[in-house]
Amino acid sequence: MAVKDAVRERGQFSSRFGFITAATGSAVGLGNIWGFPTQTASHGGGAFVLVYLVLAFLLAYPALMAELIIGRHTRSNMVSALPQLTTSPMLKIVGRATGLFGVVTASLILSFYAIVASWLMVQVPAALADIGGQGPAENWLNQPSLLRDSLFCGLFSLLTAGIVARGVTAGIERWSTRLMPALVLLILGLVGTVLTLPGAMEGLRLYLIPNFNLLTGPSLLTSAMGQAFFSLSLGVGTMLVYGSYVSKADNLPLTGAYVALIDTGIAFLAGLLIIPAMFVAQQRGIEIYNSDNTLIAGPDLILQTLPSLFNSLGFAGAFIGLIFFLLLTIAALTSSISMLEVPVTFVLEKFKISRYHATWLVASIIFSLSLLILNNFDQLFTGVIRLTTTYSQPLLGVMLCVFAGWVLHRNKLLSEISKGFAGAKTSLFWKIWPSYIRFICPLLIILMFVQNTRS
Ligand code: TRP
C-alpha cells in the first residue's frame, strides 16, 4: 500500500512502452533532425555516420544507463538524487551542487531551444497561409521580427508547460505516445517523397558512402561525441528524472538500449531526408555550398535552403514544407517537455507545491530568459548555447558517471539492475558496464571537453 501511494504521488510511466515513447520523445529532437544530418554533411558523410554509431553505443548508451539507474534507484529529482547515493557529508554537498547545476543547465538549454523551436513552428502557419493564398499573412510570418519571435516562443512555451502541468502519465506519457508515432510516419513519408526526386541519389551517396579521407582530425570525434550526448539528452538530469518514473519490473539495460537504438535510427532516417533534399535543391539551381566549399549547415539550411526547395516544387512543395515543419515542431515539443520536467520536479518536491503551480512558475521564469535572449540576441544566443552544451553538459556528464560508478555501492548497483532483469549478475552488461562507467566514460568525456574548449 505504501509503495502504491508513493507511486501515485510521484507518478510513474504506466508501461514500458509508455516510458520508451517518452524517453525517445525526449531524445529525438532538433538534435536528430537538424543536428545529426548537418554534422554528417560537414564531416565526410558516411564516415561520420560510422563514427557516430560506434560512439552512441560505446559512450552515450553507458552514460544513459548511469542516469536511468540513479533515477530509478533514488526515485528522486536531480538535486536530491545524488546526495542519496552516499553517507559522506562532503559528497552529499558535491551531489547537491551537481544537481543544482543540472537543473540550471536544463533550464538554460530550454530557454534557447524554445527560441529555435519557435522559428520552426512559425513555418507551420506560414505554409498554411501559403496554401490558403493569404499572401500578407504569409509574408509577416516569414519575416523575422522581435514581435513574431516572442509570440511564437510564448506559444511554444505554453504548449510545453500545458503538457508538463498535467503530470507524468496524463501529460508527458500521453502526449509522447500520441506524437511519436505521428513523427515516425511523417518522416517516413517525407523520406519516401524526397528520394524519388531528381538529384536525391547524389545526396544519398554522400550520406552513405564513407569518405575516410575526411575521418582525420580530432574535431570529427569530438563533434560526434557532443552530438551523441545532446541527442540522448544526457548530462542535465532529463534521463535521470524519466528513469525515476520507470517501474521496478522493467529491464532497465534493455529498455535503455531500445531508447538509444530508436534515437539513433531516427537520426539516421533524418539524414536520409535532409542530405538528399539538399542535392535535389542543387539540381533546381539552389546554392547548397558556402563560399568555403562546405555544405550549408546552420539555420540557413533549415530556414532558407530547404524552404527555397519547397517553393520551387510549387503547390506540392507547400504541403511538403508544411509536413516538414510540423515534424520539427513535434520533435522539439516532446524534447522540450523533458527539459522542463527537470526543474519542475525539483521545485515541486523541494517546496512541496502542486505540479500545476510548479510548472507555471518555472515555465514563466524560463520564458523570461528566452525573452531576455531574444532582446539581446547577438550578445546572448550563441553564448548560452556554448556555455550549456560545450561546458556544462560534459562536466555534468562526468559527475553523473562518477556518482554511478564510484559513489553508488556496487551491491546496490547490481540489485537495482537485477530488478526486472533476473540474469543481471551473469550478463554481458554487468561484466562490462561497471568498469566502463568508472574509467572509459569519464576519460572520453574529459578528452572531448578539453578538445572542444581549446578550439
Ligand atoms: N535530445 C534532444 C534533441 O536531440 C534535446 C534534449 C532534450 C536535450 N533534453 C535534453 C539536450 C537535455 C540536452 C540535455 O534535440
* Domain map (residue ranges) of the chain: 3-388
In terms of Cβ atoms closer than 10 Å to its own Cβ (0-12, 13-18, 19+), residue 36 is buried
Please give the share of the chain, as a percent, with pLDDT higher than 70.
97
CB of 259 within 6 A of ligand 1: the answer is no
User: CA–CA distance from 113 to each of 160, 163, 229, 321, 396 (Å)?
Assistant: 12, 17, 16, 21, 19
User: What tens digit of pLDDT does each residue of 48-74 get?
Assistant: 899 999 999 988 999 999 999 999 999
CB of 32 within 6 A of ligand 1: the answer is yes
Report which protein residue has its CA nearest ligand 1's atom 9.
233
CB of 70 within 6 A of ligand 1: the answer is no
Cα 405 to middle of ligand 1, angstroms:
23
Residue in 386, 337, 353, 392 with CA at minimum distance from that of residue 104: 392
Question: Contact at 8 Å (CB) between 405 and 437?
Answer: yes
Cα 232 to middle of ligand 1, angstroms:
6
118: confidence class by pLDDT, cuts 50, 70, 90: very high
User: CA–CA distance from 86 to each of 66, 81, 188, 417 (Å)?
Assistant: 16, 10, 47, 18
Residue in 219, 264, 246 with CA at minimum distance from that of residue 57: 264
SS3 133: coil
User: What tens digit of pLDDT does each residue of 221-234 get?
Assistant: 888 888 999 999 99
CATH fold label, 3-388? Hydantoin permease (1.10.4160)
Dmax (CA) for the chain in angstroms is 67
Report which protein residue has its CA nearest ligand 1's atom 13.
233
**pLDDT (0 to 100) of residue 359:** 98
Residue in 61, 398, 433 with CA at minimum distance from that of residue 259: 61
CB of 59 within 6 A of ligand 1: the answer is no
Place of cell 569518405: 211
Specify the ligand 1 atom closest to the Cα of 332.
15
Residue in 170, 105, 153 with CA at minimum distance from that of residue 346: 105
Between CA 125 and CA 151 the distance in angstroms is 13
Place of cell 516562443: 153
Alpha-carbon radius of gyration of the chain? 22
Cα 174 to middle of ligand 1, angstroms:
19
Cα 338 to middle of ligand 1, angstroms:
8
CB of 31 within 6 A of ligand 1: the answer is yes
User: CA 449, 452, 455: angle at the middle one, nearest 5?
Assistant: 145
Report which protein residue has its CA nearest ligand 1's atom 12.
233
Cα 238 to middle of ligand 1, angstroms:
8
CB of 231 within 6 A of ligand 1: the answer is yes
Task: Report whether pLDDT(10) > 90.
Answer: no
CB of 27 within 6 A of ligand 1: the answer is yes
- B/e letters for 100-121, b = 16+ CB within 10 Å, e = fewer, are ebbbebbbbbbbbbbbbbbbbb
CB of 237 within 6 A of ligand 1: the answer is no
CB of 253 within 6 A of ligand 1: the answer is no
Task: Report whether pLDDT(290) > 50.
Answer: yes
DSSP 295: B
Question: What is the helix (H) or strand (E) element at residue 225, kind and residue range?
Answer: helix 218-231
**What value does the mean pLDDT take over residues 324-353?**
97
Q: Which residues pair with 289 in a beta bridge?
A: 295
Place of cell 517537455: 337
CB of 172 within 6 A of ligand 1: the answer is no
Q: Among 16-20, 83-87, 220-224, which is the least confidently predicted range?
A: 220-224
**What value does the mean pLDDT take over residues 20-44?**
91
**What value does the mean pLDDT take over residues 169-176?**
95
Task: Report whether pLDDT(218) > 80.
Answer: no
Which phi-psi region, left, alpha or beta, contains residue 174 (left: φ > 0; alpha: ψ -120 to 50)? alpha
Report which protein residue has its CA nearest ligand 1's atom 8.
233
Cα 426 to middle of ligand 1, angstroms:
33
Cα 213 to middle of ligand 1, angstroms:
31
User: What tens digit of pLDDT does each residue of 299-331 get?
Assistant: 888 999 999 999 899 888 999 999 999 999 999
Report which protein residue has its CA nearest ligand 1's atom 11.
233
State the cell numbers at 147. 514581435
CB of 101 within 6 A of ligand 1: the answer is no
User: CA–CA distance from 96 to each of 83, 85, 103, 259 (Å)?
Assistant: 6, 11, 11, 27
State the cell numbers at 127. 505554409
Task: Report whether pLDDT(271) > 50.
Answer: yes
Cα 302 to middle of ligand 1, angstroms:
19
Beta-carbon contacts of 39 under 8 Å, excluding residues fewer than 6 positions away, are 48, 52, 223, 224, 227, 297
The model's pTM = 0.95
Residue in 81, 99, 171 with CA at minimum distance from that of residue 358: 171
Residue of 103, 225, 339, 392 to mutate, ligand 1, most atoms within 8 A of C-beta: 339
**What value does the mean pLDDT take over residues 334-354?**
97
What one-letter code names the amino acid at 124? V
Specify the ligand 1 atom closest to the Cα of 105.
14
CB of 176 within 6 A of ligand 1: the answer is no
CB of 238 within 6 A of ligand 1: the answer is yes
**pLDDT (0 to 100) of residue 210:** 81
How many angstroms separate the first and last alpha carbons of the chain? 55
Which phi-psi region, left, alpha or beta, contains residue 259 (left: φ > 0; alpha: ψ -120 to 50)? alpha
CB of 107 within 6 A of ligand 1: the answer is no
